Structure 1
Amino acid sequence: MPRRTATLLAATLSLIALLCAGVLIPVPYSEMSPGPTVNTLGDSGGEPVLSISGHETYPTSGHLNMTTVRVTGAEYRMNLAEAVAGWLSRDSVVVPHDTLYPDGKTEEQSTQENAEEFSQSQESARVAALRQLGLPVATRVVVSSVQKGSPAEGLLHAGDVIKEVDGVPVREPKDVAAVVSKRKPGAPVDFTIVPAKDAAAAEKAGREPTTGGKVTVTTRRADEEDRAIVGIQAGTDHTFPFRIDIRLEDVGGPSAGLMFALGIVDKLTPGALTGGRFVAGTGTIDENGKVGPIGGIEMKLVGAREAGAAYFLTPAANCPAAAERTPEGLTLIKVETIADAVKSLDKVREGDTAALPACSRG
């Protein structure tokens, strides 16, 4: 066989081997890409994303779109060729698999966690929006969860309102652990509670729950510490002065909190908050209106611009990364609180865009 033919054959076989390796060899990476955006002022699945009853609402216009990211599943194993293609693409990001699914977390576990975070983000959005408008929101401490096999199982239930622990009034979740941990393991602790069903009935009637009773729970020693516990997780719940429903399926995680809160503010105030403009954004929100960072910011920017957004509300902590890969035609607006966002939207509506707080690369 001529040397030139042999060389070409060897090169061809090597190329085929490399291509096969690229397709067959799995690599420990996952891919993130732009997901759908949803206007919180509009409909999804034929129903309003936000609906309010029991309080006057006002017409809205324009867009306040929450943004999402698509990710490959926990069980999906990307091959080398797919990883290289993802690295070269501007419309996707390849990240270590453990970044999305740490500690061997399954897709089912991740979905459940995202659903819980999404539910909490809706609650925080309601509270932040009403507080931004100066409307009253009553807060109470509740049993968030009861550990299976713990002393509290069967005695306390998720949703029970905790009024006192051993006669000490409870105002924050941390107050519960503070009182319980003062007891020696094996000692009884008295909880003054309002049962979950009574609390739910009071909330439906728009009033604070008042009826209750006393439940005694015998403590036990914590597994890794010499302190008393009863096996519950305390959290907060709220009584709203009117009903605010948020309906959006197939979405998880906490990152829509800011946009839900702004949608609520828009519906409860005269005039269009955006002045009819197309604004998208992202960010977690807490009950005090503080906006927190999220993951996948680059992909959310791409998805927002492809949907038609001209402005993007960006958590301050995400600004450096967002400023590195801002799609053409999209203006980033830095926000740290819901109050910041509302002020910036006022400027957008008035056309004073030069005064908007900009994102910088660092």
Structure 2
Amino acid sequence: MRKRWQKVTFWTTLLILFVGFFLPLPVYLETPGEAEPLAQFVRVAGKHDRQPGKYMLTTVRLQQARPFTYLWFKTRPFTETISKDQLMGDASNRTFNQMQDYYMQSSINDAIKVAYQHAGESYHKKFLGIYVMSILKQSPFKSDLAIGDTITKIDGHQFKSVRAFIHYVKRQRVGQKVSITYQHRKTSKIAKRPLMKLPQTKHPGLGIGLVDHTKVQTKIPVKVKAGDIGGPSAGLMFTLAIYDQLSGQHLRHGRRIAGTGTMSARGKVGPIGGIDKKVVAANRAGASVFFAPDHPATKREKQLDPNYQNNYQVAKTTAKQIHSHMKIVPVKQFTDVLAYLKK
């Protein structure tokens, strides 16, 4: 009887451990990530930045929760839980990663453009085609296209913008068959299907969400490889790293400088999520300066949350909470970053 009880206890304990460590929950844990030196990602004119100090992009670690990790991290500061629906909607993991990769590539393109513009160097924006961002369930092209594909032609016609592409399709008829040429995982393919009536506009269409797929080409070569990092939030720091190497001004003067923020093609720094966790990561890496997006709250944001704080305010509060000596610098434009570093 005793041996039988020991056996039951053993297998019960084993089952609890297995479930606790390996059973995936429909919740993700967002915790402080790393402050990654940008020199490993950026190469201008075939060279990496080897000047003293570091520019660093900051990340947030995102992992699917297991019962034990969920309970552990709930006791830790600067940890948030996000449901799968909040994070991905109805997108699959592959689709979500594909979209994050697109946002990162767009961010890199804008970073290159702004950096070259401010450094007075030439660049050219090349239109590659129509990037597929989403596909309606009733789209006739659903069995052909995938998120991340690039449409290069329709009925043999090439276009220079999404706007021109949409204008052409609107002039056709619902039910009319059109032929599209597209790139799927670097392989060129062709599909011919009828146009559908779009639910909202009632115009003819393919039934996809689409954006411009472009690439910035430069006379002085530049390569930016972000590895497994996705999303647009590294745009500001990519811009700074490229500009500093391109201009030869070496503005960091041996310091470890971190920051975050999206970068628009016009040089505007945009807000991001998880900035408290990025401040923690930068502080751990020994940064002395942290650039934070500083945009006033909109009326809508104030209505939804009277205590709303923007990225800069949250970053300052976080630095104070962790007793950090980092200088938190508010920025709205890339020129604000340059003005501070040249001061």
Name the TM-score, length of structure 1 as normaliser. 0.66
2:109 to 100, 123, 129: 123
The residue that corresponds to 1:224 in the other structure is 199
Query: In structure 2, what is the equivalent of residue 333 of structure 1?
Result: 329
What SS class does the counterpart of residue 289 from structure 1 fall into?
coil
| Cα deviation digits, residues 200-226 of structure 1 (max 9, x gap) | 9xxxxxxxxxxxxxx997751235242
Aligned partners of 2:115 and 2:240 also within 8 Å: yes
Cα gap change, 1:152 to 1:97, in 2 (>3 Å) = closer
Shift of 1:149: 4.4
Secondary structure at the aligned position of 2:112 is classed as helix
Question: For the pair shown, which has the larger CA radius of gyration, 1 or 2?
Answer: 1
Cα deviations across residues 254-309 of structure 1 (Å, max 9, x unaligned)?
Answer: 21111111111011112312122211011111222222111111111011011010
Q: Secondary structure at the match of 1:177?
A: helix
Contact 1:145 1:234 in 2 (8 A): yes
1:181 to 150, 154, 170: 170
Residue 217 (structure 2) aligns with: 240
8 Å CA contact 1:151–1:230 kept in 2: the answer is: no
Q: Give yes or no for contact 1:312–1:330 (8 Å, CA) kept in 2.
A: yes
Matched letter for residue 252 of structure 2: T
Paired residues of 1:64 and 1:280 also in contact (CA < 8 A): yes
Q: CA deviation at 1:325?
A: 1.3
Q: What secondary structure is seen at the aligned counterpart in 2 of 1:137?
A: strand
Cα distance in 1 between the residues matched to 2:106 and 2:171: 30
Specify every segment of 5 or more residues in structure 2 that has no aligned partner in the other structure, as ranges. Answer: 1-19, 296-310
Please point out which of 36, 45, 48 is paired with 1:53.
Answer: 45
- Alignment CA distance shift 1:216-1:101 (3 Å): closer
3-state SS of paired residue (1:131): helix
In 2, the alpha carbon distance for the partners of 1:254 and 1:68 equals 11
Aligned twin of 1:94: 80
Q: Which moved more, 1:177-186 or 1:292-301?
A: 177-186
User: Which residue of structure 1 aligns with residue 53 of structure 2?
Assistant: 62
> Which whole-Å CA distance do the structure 2 matches of 1:112 and 1:189 have between them?
26
Task: Measure the CA separation in 1 of the matches of 2:240 and 2:313.
Answer: 23
Q: CA RMSD in A?
A: 4.0
**Aligned to 2:66, what secondary structure does the other structure show?**
coil
Q: Report the identity percentage.
A: 22
Change (3 A) 1:94 1:29: farther
Task: Indicate if the aligned counterparts of 2:140 and 2:196 stay in contact, CA closer than 8 A.
Answer: no
Please list, as runs of the form range in 1=range in 2, the aligned pairs for 1:204-353 lying within 5 A after superposition: 220-225=195-200, 226-230=202-206, 233-242=210-219, 243-317=221-295, 318-326=311-319, 327=322, 328-347=324-343
* Separation (CA, whole Å) in 1 of partners of 2:130 and 2:26: 39
TM-score normalised by length of structure 2:
0.69
8 Å Cα contact 2:261/2:293 also seen in 1: yes
Q: CA deviation at 1:95?
A: 2.9
Segment drifting more, 274-283 vs 110-119: 110-119
Tell me the number of residue pairs that the alignment of Structure 1 and Structure 2 aligns.
290
Cα deviation, 1:155-213, whole Å, max 9, x if unaligned, reads: xx955656x9999x95542232134224332457799x9x97xxx9xxxxxxxxxxxxx
In the alignment, what sits opposite 2:16? none
Distance in 2 of aligned mates of 1:67 and 1:77 = 27
Distance 1:114 1:160 in 2: 19
Q: Match for 2:34: what amino acid?
A: P
Distance between the aligned counterparts of 2:48 and 2:62, measured in 1? 37
2:100 paired with 1:114:
yes
Contact 2:103/2:231 (<8 A) preserved: yes
Cα distance, 1:59–1:188 mapped onto 2, change above 3 Å: same
Deviation of 1:38 after TM superposition, in Å, equals 1.3
Q: Which runs of 5+ in 1 are unaligned?
A: 1-22, 44-48, 201-214, 348-362
Which stretch has the larger CA shift, 226-235 or 316-325? 226-235
Question: CA 1:303/1:160 → structure 2, altered by over 3 Å: closer, same or farther?
Answer: same
Aligned pair in 2 of structure 1 residues 334, 110: CA closer, same or farther (>3 Å)?
same
